[in-house]
Every structure is written in structure tokens, then in C-alpha cells.
Amino acid sequence: MGVKLQTLTDPKKRAMLLSALYIAQEQFGWLSPEALERVAGRLGLSIGQVRSTASFYTMFRLEPKGRYHVQVCEGLSCYLAGGAEPIVDHLVRRLGIRPGETTKDGTFSLEIVQCLAACDLSPGMKINDELYGCLKLETIDALLDDLTQRAVER
């Protein structure tokens, strides 16, 4: 028996839900089951509706991630612009983690996603809410150096 998706058809409620999920994620760093329940309770929605929506969007994290959550796109446009593979390989070497993992110090986590809705900037990746396009390995190195430095200064 499959899981039935509980979709939310009211556009106003959906907009409120997306905002509430975004705020909860900002506050806690990820959307724990407790956070989803709290959002559902506040908006008068079922936990299924809230979880379905949260799991649909790549911007929401349903598991704890690193302080800097790196999402590399492997969608078609990015594939045609060189693909995620060289970028992911570089990040794996540089960070010492595989996709789906978080560095031991909790600074970085890595994930492969389908499309970041920035196909004109392919190949692209996101780090938390920031989008980076037309990526080159040198750009990635500079970004990681900067974020690593910020994590140390914190």
C-alpha cells in the first residue's frame, strides 16, 4: 500500500505554510517532526499536509544538516553545461564527505538535487539560501575558503 499525498489546494494556505516552514527552518536549522507538528497546529493543517509540502521543496531540510548546506544541481540544463559530477567529485574531495553526509564539525553538508530553478546560470548550486551559478571549481574553492573562515571566526 502506497502513501497517499495530502495536497493543499488553497493558495493562501499554501503561501502561509511555505512562510511558516521557512521561518521554522530559520529558527531551528531544520524541520524536525516537532517543528512540523507545531506548524501544522498553528495553521490548522494535518501533519500529512505539512510533511508533503515540506518534502516537495528542496529548500526545506527534514534532517539536521551542516551550518552550510551545499546543494548541487544535476538537472538537465546543468548536465548540458558540464554536469554535477565534476562539481560533486570536487566537493567530495574537498570536504571529505559524500552526498547525504555532514562534516564531523557540522560545518558543511552535501546534497544532490534536481533543479534549482536557475537553469540559465548552469551549472549551479546553492549554499543555504544563496544561489551560485556558472560554477567553476576555482569559484567553489574560494566560496568554501570563505565559509570555512567564517565558521572558524564564529
Which residues of the shown chain bind ligand FES in the complex (CB under 6 A)? 73, 75-78, 115-116, 118-119, 122, 124
Q: Which is nearer to ligand FES, 45 or 84 (CB)?
A: 84
C-alpha 60/C-alpha 46 separation (Å) is 18
With H, G, I as helix, E, B as strand and everything else as coil, classify residue 132: strand
Q: Which is nearer to ligand FES, 78 or 88 (CB)?
A: 78
Contacts of 109 (CB under 8 A, 6+ apart): 65, 66, 68, 69, 70, 97, 101, 102, 103
- Smallest distance, ligand FES to C-beta of residue 78, A: 3
Cα-only R_g, the chain: 17
Kind of pairing, strands 130-132 and 125-127?
antiparallel
Q: Which is nearer to ligand FES, 102 or 122 (CB)?
A: 122
Residue nearest to ligand FES (CB): 75
Q: Which is nearer to ligand FES, 92 or 115 (CB)?
A: 115
- Smallest distance, ligand FES to C-beta of residue 11, A: 24
Contacts of 1 (CB under 8 A, 6+ apart): none
Q: Which is nearer to ligand FES, 71 or 109 (CB)?
A: 71
132-146 burial, b for 16+ CB within 10 Å, e for fewer?
bbebeeeebeebbee
- Smallest distance, ligand FES to C-beta of residue 121, A: 7
- Smallest distance, ligand FES to C-beta of residue 124, A: 5
- Smallest distance, ligand FES to C-beta of residue 85, A: 13
